[in-house]
Chains A and B, each alone.
Chain A
Amino acid sequence: MSRLKNNKSLMQALSWIGMIIIAFIIFGIFLLMQGANPLEAYKNMFESTLTNQIGISKLILKSVPFILLAVATSISTRAGLVNVGVEGQLMIGMLFTITAANFLFTSLPTVLGLILLAIVGMLGGALYGGVAGLFRVKANMNETITTVVMNYISYFIVSLAVYGYLRDPEGFNWPMSTQISDSLTLPKLFGTVNIGIIIALLVVALVWYFINKTKTGFKMKVVCGNPNAAKNAGINVNKVRFFAMVATGAIAGLAGMIEICGVEGRLRTTTCQDYGYLGFLAAWMAWNNPVLSVATAVIISFLSVSGNVLEFKNNLPASSTQILMSIVLLAIMWRGKGRKES
């Protein structure tokens, strides 16, 4: 029995990889049409990203936000909600983090400061997710729609802050915040890689445990499966949904804190733009399975990091990476869940 299961998941993994390869072949034809040598181009992409420490570090660093945002998205999904709002929740998480880091905790010792910043970042994301949650449970507004609109609003809130109170007084009036103090940067594991990846993997494990092993996780499943049955069973559906929105926001906010304290050090209007949407896609590519979404997040991270090399080595415009990424994602989607589900 278990051998059969193993075989099945091996077959699935293989067919998954097969689809990705087909996507690369399709894009390869596109490259040929542009006069580039696809094999050469792919060799460059893989070599630059996977064969040296710098490339691997970038790959890991970039995976962290996508992992966290995917896991965050999947919590909402497990409660039967489609939350596209991790983009905005990430933004607000970053805004809260940088505000606290530059105005409140500037002189705190590293460990205490970072723990407080993580809490503040999560608070920011949770707050923004919670507002969408309130819209859902109190005003019966569709969360997909409200979160999409709120993503735009978050962008302007960040702009307002970055052009306003956050602006670096020594930055020649350029719209960017002051750099956070060195004591508030995340400790490094090796090279440029910080402990963010460990935090992300811990969160994945926690969320997996939470969804599959706890009472609230079970309630979420019931609410997702059949809200009316859940109501009849005495589950407070609204409470569960609100909780899911807040939890999603909190994790997205944590991703924001890790980006600010681990990678960016400053907030700009374009910091982490579109990460939320890519994280959302990473979650849905992995059918909202937190463990699988680590794989999809790494794939998206790989395409994003190696896409740079693809572009400048072959003199291709930025849109080409976008096209490649879309084709890969479409291929994974075309593959679907396969036989397992039906």
Chain B
Amino acid sequence: MISLITNFLTNAIQSGTSVLYGIYGETITERSGIVNLGTEGSMILGAIAAYIVAADSGSMGLAIICAMLAGGALALIHAYLCINRKANQLASGLTLMFLGLGIAAFYGREYVSVSITGLNKIAIPLLSKIPVIGEAFFNQDILTYLSFVLCPVLWWFLYKTRKGLFLRAAGEDKEVVYAYGKNPQSLRYLATVLGGMISAIGGAQLSIAYTKTWSEGMTNGRGIIAVSLVVLAKYNPSKAMIGAYVYGGAQALNVILQSQGVEISPFLLMMLPYVITLVALFVSSVRKGTNAPNELKNIIGG
């Protein structure tokens, strides 16, 4: 029983981590007033770029850097289309998602059967020995630890630095930013590209750390769901983990219930993560209302 709880927590964190990066990235982007459905595309490009580099060079650091570059590049197209060409943000994001999935599938063909060493789990001494939760939280891969660390770092960036302040201001009221002599558009560029880069780490976590496999379309909607979960996280990196682990936990629950032979249709159980996400969105909306950035409301109808 204990091992099942530990397994539940481990699985919840592991399936939540890639989504967590997506939420981090998209939170930064949305805070500046840009919504990017292309997060899915950035993630899958991150996954394949990391895998190719990991397989060919063996350097995991380089793999992660390349993943970020690939994810950032796709987000850069999004920023250009939305900011300079005034394209609809959702349409642009959706198209870039298709583009990212297509490119990743195309260049990933030769890597389907390639094995890599990847990033293995590192147990943190003492902490990983804590009963029940130790194994789940402190025996993970380095990218999972990084996702824990990013939480306060991104919060600090958004709420305690001047750059973060202006970035958020760009999302609330760009006139204010102009008044301070800053250019909200360049802040949005920064936020979108940074968002794409962070999301791409989530893809890399999937391919080189968690599964050590490349498979076509392996992000499988995790980037899209991340965009939804940003709302649940109240556009705040400090609450991103709630969103990610609600989804990850529901996914873990689906698998555990199946393994226990519960007589519920597997399709109902597979539906669980999405239903729980919807319910969580409902509850949080009814209880606290939305706090979407103002500029965002013009795009997705806050």
- Within 1-25 of B, Cβ neighbours of A (below 8 Å) are at none
Kindly list chain B residues whose C-beta atoms are within 8 Å of the C-beta of A152. 221, 225, 271, 274
Task: Verify if B150 is at the interface (C-beta below 8 Å from A).
Answer: no
Q: Determine the residue in chain A with the shortest Cβ distance to B81.
A: A333
Q: A143 with B301: in contact, given A156-B267, A323-B99, A333-B87 (CB under 8 Å)?
A: yes
B contact residues, range = 35 or more
Docked pose: A303 CA to B293 CA in angstroms = 37
Q: A145 with B299: in contact, given A140-B290, A322-B105, A333-B87 (CB under 8 Å)?
A: no
A284 x B90 contact (CB < 8 A)? yes
Q: Digit string of B201-216 for contact with A (CB within 8 Å is 1, else 0)? A: 0000000000000001
Kindly list chain B residues whose C-beta atoms are within 8 Å of the C-beta of A91. none
A160 x B81 contact (CB < 8 A)? no
B99 x A330 contact (CB < 8 A)? yes
Which of the segments A59-67, A77-85, A254-262 contacts the partner chain?
A77-85
B265 x A164 contact (CB < 8 A)? yes
Kindly list chain A residues whose C-beta atoms are within 8 Å of the C-beta of B88. 284, 333
Report A128 CB to chain B, min CB distance, Å: 13
Report A271 CB to chain B, min CB distance, Å: 16
Q: Determine the residue in chain A with the shortest Cβ distance to B101.
A: A322
- Within 66-108 of B, Cβ neighbours of A (below 8 Å) are at 77, 81, 85-88, 90-92, 94-96, 98-99, 101-103, 105-106
Q: Determine the residue in chain A with the shortest Cβ distance to B232.
A: A145
- Within 128-171 of A, Cβ neighbours of B (below 8 Å) are at 135, 139-146, 148-150, 152-153, 156-157, 159-160, 163-164
Docked pose: A317 CA to B231 CA in angstroms = 36
Task: Verify if A180 is at the interface (C-beta below 8 Å from B).
Answer: no
Docked pose: A142 CA to B230 CA in angstroms = 12
Docked pose: A329 CA to B94 CA in angstroms = 10
Kindly list chain A residues whose C-beta atoms are within 8 Å of the C-beta of B156. none
Kindly list chain A residues whose C-beta atoms are within 8 Å of the C-beta of B265. 160, 163-164
Report A257 CB to chain B, min CB distance, Å: 24
Kindly list chain B residues whose C-beta atoms are within 8 Å of the C-beta of A327. 99
B106 x A145 contact (CB < 8 A)? no
Report A176 CB to chain B, min CB distance, Å: 15
Docked pose: A322 CA to B41 CA in angstroms = 13
Docked pose: A82 CA to B87 CA in angstroms = 14
Contact among A150, A159, A342 with B267 in the assembled complex (CB-CB below 8 Å): A159
Q: Determine the residue in chain B with the shortest Cβ distance to A321.
A: B102
A80 x B301 contact (CB < 8 A)? yes
A139 x B286 contact (CB < 8 A)? yes
Among B87, B224, B302, the one with the most A-chain Cβ atoms within 10 Å of its Cβ is: B87
Task: Verify if A281 is at the interface (C-beta below 8 Å from B).
Answer: yes
B106 x A319 contact (CB < 8 A)? yes
Report A227 CB to chain B, min CB distance, Å: 9
Name B's interface SS. Answer: helix
Q: Determine the residue in chain A with the shortest Cβ distance to B216.
A: A319
Task: Verify if B45 is at the interface (C-beta below 8 Å from A).
Answer: no
Task: Verify if A117 is at the interface (C-beta below 8 Å from B).
Answer: no
A333 x B285 contact (CB < 8 A)? no
A320 x B299 contact (CB < 8 A)? no
Q: A145 with B228: in contact, given A81-B301, A326-B96, A330-B95 (CB under 8 Å)?
A: yes
A337 x B98 contact (CB < 8 A)? no
Contact among B95, B99, B285 with A140 in the assembled complex (CB-CB below 8 Å): B285
A326 x B95 contact (CB < 8 A)? yes
A145 x B85 contact (CB < 8 A)? no
B281 x A160 contact (CB < 8 A)? no
Task: Verify if A325 is at the interface (C-beta below 8 Å from B).
Answer: yes
Kindly list chain B residues whose C-beta atoms are within 8 Å of the C-beta of A145. 227-228, 231, 281, 300
A150 x B271 contact (CB < 8 A)? no
Report B244 CB to chain A, min CB distance, Å: 15
Contact among B81, B90, B103, B278 with A330 in the assembled complex (CB-CB below 8 Å): B81
Task: Verify if B122 is at the interface (C-beta below 8 Å from A).
Answer: no
- Within 48-97 of A, Cβ neighbours of B (below 8 Å) are at 80-82, 84
Kindly list chain A residues whose C-beta atoms are within 8 Å of the C-beta of B77. 330
Task: Verify if B182 is at the interface (C-beta below 8 Å from A).
Answer: no
B105 x A336 contact (CB < 8 A)? no
Given A84-B90, A149-B278, A333-B92, 17 new contacts (CB under 8 A):
A140-B285, A140-B289, A141-B290, A142-B301, A144-B300, A144-B301, A150-B278, A156-B268, A163-B265, A284-B88, A319-B103, A319-B105, A323-B103, A326-B99, A329-B95, A334-B81, A336-B87
19 A-B residue pairs with CB within 8 Å: A139-B282, A141-B281, A145-B227, A145-B281, A145-B300, A159-B270, A160-B265, A319-B106, A319-B216, A322-B99, A323-B106, A326-B99, A329-B95, A330-B77, A330-B81, A333-B85, A333-B91, A334-B81, A341-B86
- Which B residues have a C-beta under 8 Å from some C-beta of A? 35, 77, 81, 85-88, 90-92, 94-96, 98-99, 101-103, 105-106, 109, 216, 221, 224-225, 227-228, 231, 265, 267-268, 270-271, 274-275, 277-278, 281-282, 285-286, 289-290, 292, 299-302
What are the 5 closest A-B residue pairs judged by CB atoms, nearest first?
A322-B102, A284-B91, A326-B99, A319-B105, A156-B271
